[in-house]
Amino acid sequence: MTDKNDIIMPLLEAAEKSFRLLFKEHNEHFYYCTLVMIEVGTPCISALSYEVLEKLAAASDDHDNTYLQLKWSYADSPYCGFGYDEYFGDVAKKFEYCFDNINCDKGDENEISRWLDSMEEVMRILDGKGLFGMGKERSRLFINAEIMPPEASNFDRAERLNPFDVYKEWERDWIGELSLDKPAVDWNAVWNPELCNVTLLRPVTDKKIIMQIKNALCIDKGITLFIEDCQNAPFIILKNEPYETVIRNLQNFPMIQPFLSVKKQERQ
């Protein structure tokens, strides 16, 4: 069992350095800053500014709907994973240590809860330092510690971390987005998704790349054995995985994409 304090210290340092560098390099009006755990992977930061949101919406044929749909989308932000390569090395090692012997399909709910609690505490500490502004400036910025795909606990952490009005704006937008009229669900596609195989194309010796591959693809093999495997490519690293999930996960790890080939399986 992991002591929460052992998680908070490296995560706090990495998140603070990443957010500070982001704000220094991009003089924009940020309204959304989050620590996010994606598909039970190492947490990273994401953020959105009104400048970025307007640019994303302007590129769409349906500006208003796109604006709402992307307003709180960590994944569509160009700043998703900002500072990860520079500052999250120790966090990734700690995360790997915590989850090294856990079956990724089932997960360890207690361990995940400890990480989410730690992420919330980190955002609370950074907020207390004034990193996200003070007074009126803070009242215009929403922060959170999230798990994706989204779970109800995201609302609980959001409510605890934010001023009432800021939280309510986020909540209204989320509920509005969930209640938008959408095409009927294709349940056959849900229960019978397109599957794919993922191939590691060439040997990899860089441990940072190996760790990102392991996180992105949710490999449940121990890190030592996985490092050895990666030195003996090419080989199929995953079989029978949902294609859309794999593609979505890889979008957050651009550095590893050249090392992998994703091939859809033919439907039976």
Domains for the chain: give ranges and CATH numbers: 4-178 (no CATH), 189-264 (3.30.1390)
- Closest residue by Cα to residue 84 from 212, 205, 206: 212
Cβ-based neighbours of 241, under 8 Å, separated by 6 or more: 195, 196, 197, 198, 217
Integer Cα distance of 256 and 189 in angstroms? 28
What local confidence, expressed as pLDDT, does residue 182 receive?
Answer: 41
**pLDDT grade for 194, boundaries at 50, 70 and 90:** confident
Which H or E element spans position 264? strand 260-264
- Closest residue by Cα to residue 101 from 212, 6, 198, 224: 224
**pLDDT grade for 166, boundaries at 50, 70 and 90:** very high
- Cis check: omega of the bond before 234, within 30 degrees of 0: yes
| % of the chain surpassing 70 pLDDT | 89
pLDDT at 172 over 70: yes
What local confidence, expressed as pLDDT, does residue 52 receive?
Answer: 93
pLDDT at 206 over 90: no
* Mean pLDDT, range 233-237, rounded to an integer: 92
* 28, two tokens: 């924009």
What local confidence, expressed as pLDDT, does residue 187 receive?
Answer: 45
What local confidence, expressed as pLDDT, does residue 3 receive?
Answer: 64
* Mean pLDDT, range 98-121, rounded to an integer: 76
- Closest residue by Cα to residue 260 from 221, 209, 224, 226: 209
pLDDT at 15 over 50: yes
Integer Cα distance of 35 and 245 in angstroms? 20
* Mean pLDDT, range 55-74, rounded to an integer: 83
Alpha-carbon torsion 160, 164, 167, 172, what sign? positive
What local confidence, expressed as pLDDT, does residue 144 receive?
Answer: 98
Integer Cα distance of 162 and 142 in angstroms? 6
What local confidence, expressed as pLDDT, does residue 183 receive?
Answer: 45
More confident residue, 267 or 179: 267
Of 30-39, 52-61, 141-150, the one with minimum mean pLDDT is 52-61
Number of alpha carbons in the 13 Å side-chain half-sphere of residue 63: 3
pTM value?
A: 0.66
What local confidence, expressed as pLDDT, does residue 103 receive?
Answer: 52
Residue pLDDT, tens place only, 23-46? 999 999 999 999 999 887 899 999
What local confidence, expressed as pLDDT, does residue 190 receive?
Answer: 52
pLDDT at 136 over 70: yes
What local confidence, expressed as pLDDT, does residue 104 receive?
Answer: 47
Helices within 100-242 (DSSP H only): 109-128, 135-138, 153-161, 164-178, 187-191, 207-217, 223-230
Average pLDDT, the chain: 86
**pLDDT grade for 155, boundaries at 50, 70 and 90:** very high
